[in-house]
Amino acid sequence: MIEGLVALLIVMIIVALVIGMMAWLVQQAPFIADPWKQWIVWLLYVVGVLIILARALPLVGVRI
């Protein structure tokens, strides 16, 4: 169980870094209109949460 939690922690850190960098890049992009930037950033956050949930649910016995 501890190995699974450590693996989940590693996945969470990697996903947070990747999604954070992608969100920062979207915010810095001059060719994307402001309303679209906010939608894209929120979409990135949702994708990150779904990735983490997909990795966390098997630890509690839920099969995807």
Question: Which pLDDT belongs to residue 62?
Answer: 86
Q: What is the pLDDT of residues 2-47, one digit of tens each?
A: 898 999 999 999 999 999 999 999 999 999 999 999 999 999 999 9
Distance CA 39, CA 57 (A): 27
Selected residue with higher pLDDT from 8 and 64: 8
Question: Which pLDDT belongs to residue 1?
Answer: 79
For residues 22-61, one letter each, b for 16 or more C-beta atoms within 10 angstroms of the residue's C-beta and e for the rest, the string is ebeebeeeeeeeeeeeeebbeebeeebeebbeebeeeeee
Question: Which pLDDT belongs to residue 63?
Answer: 84
Question: Which pLDDT belongs to residue 10?
Answer: 96
